Amino acid sequence: MSAAAKRKSASATTDLVYGLGSTGLSVARFLARNNQVARYVDSRAEPPGIDDLRDICGDAETFVGETPKKLLKNTSRIIVSPGISDSDAYLQAARDAGIDVVSDIELFVHEAKAPIVAVTGSNGKSTVTTLLSLMCEAAGRKGLAGANLGVPALDLLDEDQPDFYLLELSSFQLQRTANLPAKVAVLLNISPDHLDWHADEDEYRRAKYRIFDQAEAAVVNRADDEVWQHLPKGIHQVSFGLDEPEAGQYGLLEDADDLFLARGDQLLLSVRDIAMVGAHNQANALAALAAGELIGLEMSSMLQVLNEFPGLPHRMRLAGRIAGVPYINDSKATNVGAAIASVESIDGLVVLIAGGQGKGGDFDKLAVSTCSRLRAVVLIGEDAPQLEQAFSGLTPTERASDMNDAVARAAGLAESGDTVLLAPACASFDQFANYQARGDAFCNAVEALQR
């Protein structure tokens, strides 16, 4: 298509891509592969990926540092990046004008030819999606993993067709996806999160439960008392939990002073033989096994992965030992529920490093749920004062100026048999580029203490 033709087409296009970054660029690549033209808008003056966008579709109308309302007159659909809240004024104006607001996942499911396994949850979804990818590989099947994890969903369509698409989906993506015909839908857990994005906890929960609406089969957590009322009538379901399972379900069984992953009364694998650390990872393993069964993976292949996979970086990974005290990096524990699960998964007392941007999380719940397991809490970041108030009278607290100071203070507080745990219960953006950078800073600080 000539530049003139592209400009003419752009004047009548119905698509507007709102927000660049990795998702926006994946939308641009998808549209370019399909010879479709769109306009691109980002409220930031220098959004990430702007140079890449010019390489992909240099002739496209692009507006940065502004959100022109005039564009809405010729737009019937806005494809929006997940980080932009539904309360955004531009999106509100679009809806008032009768314009559809959709996610990249809406485009993906329209084009995908292989079955979809959709995974969501407040915590653990990256681990379970990765486990399923590795389990497919071990079983001689091809499972392409992406969406909220790693590769954007639309970029997966540029690869050879797999046996399965394995999509990690956020509440943001689910809220804006009307069509999701998943072969298997997995909901790991729900705890309050992203309340700075969603209107309230009820909206957040409704977004998560949407994953079941068009699914053929569901993997559900038995600990979620509400999940059953959100399942479509007649849907095939397999449950998992950290209790004793009924026939055909997944859980834990004791035998001869050992604890096993189990399917009904069938013992599968001792928890001591799981490479991942923590009780919450036992739940993740059970959920992956349930989903793997529903897509026909061999049990032996799945158990081999559980025996070998140590977990994703920055998720309950050992950073080092100092004077017999283990230092655990769980920087990915970016909400209260994840931090509680991290603390509860550790034997012995914990010196907890927490803090950052709280995202509306319930710090009182964090303090009450964990105080009996904590020796002390070292606080960092923007919301340290609120955390300090929540723990007041329950657990000793100290404030640290940065991560090096936090690790040094934790080392001084820890006693033999304790564990120092980075589980921030907060986002990282007040001090770090992302949770990975925060985890790296923790590991570097631990390494410096070992010298």
Digit-coded pLDDT (tens) for 93-142: 999 999 999 999 999 999 999 999 999 998 899 999 999 999 999 999 99
Is pLDDT of 62 > 60?
Answer: yes
Q: What is the pLDDT of residue 1?
A: 37
Q: What is the pLDDT of residue 202?
A: 79
Annotated active-site residue 329? The verdict is: no
Q: What is the pLDDT of residue 13?
A: 52
The amino acid at residue 79 is I
pLDDT-derived band of residue 204, with 50, 70 and 90 as boundaries?
confident
Mean pLDDT of the 167-191 span: 92
Report the percentage of the chain scoring pLDDT > 90: 80
Annotated active-site residue 125? The verdict is: yes
Backbone angles phi, psi at 262, to 5 degrees: -145, 150
Domain 317-450 in CATH 3.90.190.20? The answer is: yes
Is pLDDT of 206 > 90?
Answer: no
Q: What is the pLDDT of residue 171?
A: 86
- Strand duo 164-168 + 250-255: pairing: unpaired
User: Are 107-308 and 317-450 in the same CATH fold?
Assistant: no
Architecture of domain 107-308: 3-Layer(aba) Sandwich (3.40)
Bigger pLDDT: 392 vs 345? 392
Strand order through the sheet with 62-64: 62-64, 39-42, 15-18, 77-80, 100-102
Query: Which residue out of 123, 189, 194, 332 is catalytically annotated?
Result: 194
Lowest mean pLDDT: which of 79-83, 244-248, 303-307? 79-83
Q: What is the pLDDT of residue 450?
A: 87
* C-beta of residue 274 within 8 angstroms of C-beta of residue 307: yes
* C-beta of residue 103 within 8 angstroms of C-beta of residue 84: no
Mean pLDDT of the 359-381 span: 95
Q: What is the pLDDT of residue 347?
A: 86
Q: What is the mean pLDDT of the chain?
A: 92
Is pLDDT of 5 > 60?
Answer: no
What are the DSSP calls for 224-272, one per residue? -TTGGGGSPTT-EEEEE-SS---TT-EEEEEETTEEEEEETTEEEEEGG
Is pLDDT of 270 > 60?
Answer: yes
Per-residue tokens: 178: 């009307």
Query: Which residue out of 123, 148, 189, 335 is catalytically annotated?
Result: 148
Is pLDDT of 9 > 60?
Answer: no
Lowest mean pLDDT: which of 16-20, 145-149, 310-314, 380-384? 310-314
Q: What is the pLDDT of residue 451?
A: 79
Query: Which residue out of 6, 123, 125, 314 is catalytically annotated?
Result: 125
Per-residue tokens: 111: 């084009």
Mean pLDDT of the 80-88 span: 88
Is pLDDT of 310 > 60?
Answer: yes
Is pLDDT of 447 > 70?
Answer: yes
Q: What is the pLDDT of residue 122?
A: 85
Indicate the CATH number for domain 3-102: 3.40.50.720
pLDDT tens-place string over residues 426-440: 999 999 999 999 999
Mean pLDDT of the 81-100 span: 91
Mean pLDDT of the 351-375 span: 95
Q: What is the pLDDT of residue 198?
A: 52
What's the burial of 228, exposed, middle or buried (CB within 10 Å: 0-12/13-18/19+)? exposed
pLDDT-derived band of residue 345, with 50, 70 and 90 as boundaries?
confident
Other Cβ atoms within 10 Å of 180 Cβ, number: 23
Q: Which of 108, 103, 102 is nearest to 154 (CA)?
A: 108
Whole-number Å distance between alpha carbons of 183 and 275 = 28
Lowest mean pLDDT: which of 7-21, 224-238, 278-292, 357-371? 7-21
Q: What is the pLDDT of residue 7?
A: 42
Q: What is the pLDDT of residue 38?
A: 94
Q: What is the pLDDT of residue 193?
A: 54
Annotated active-site residue 148? The verdict is: yes
Query: Can you give the residue ranges of every domain in the chain?
Result: 3-102, 107-308, 317-450
pLDDT-derived band of residue 315, with 50, 70 and 90 as boundaries?
confident
Lowest mean pLDDT: which of 1-5, 64-68, 292-296? 1-5
Bigger pLDDT: 187 vs 74? 187
Q: Which residues pair with 266 in a beta bridge?
A: 263
Bigger pLDDT: 198 vs 200? 200
Is pLDDT of 11 > 50?
Answer: no
* C-beta of residue 201 within 8 angstroms of C-beta of residue 214: no
Q: What is the pLDDT of residue 4?
A: 40
Backbone angles phi, psi at 353, to 5 degrees: -105, 120
Q: What is the pLDDT of residue 195?
A: 53
Is pLDDT of 3 > 80?
Answer: no
User: H-helix or E-strand containing 379?
Assistant: strand 374-379
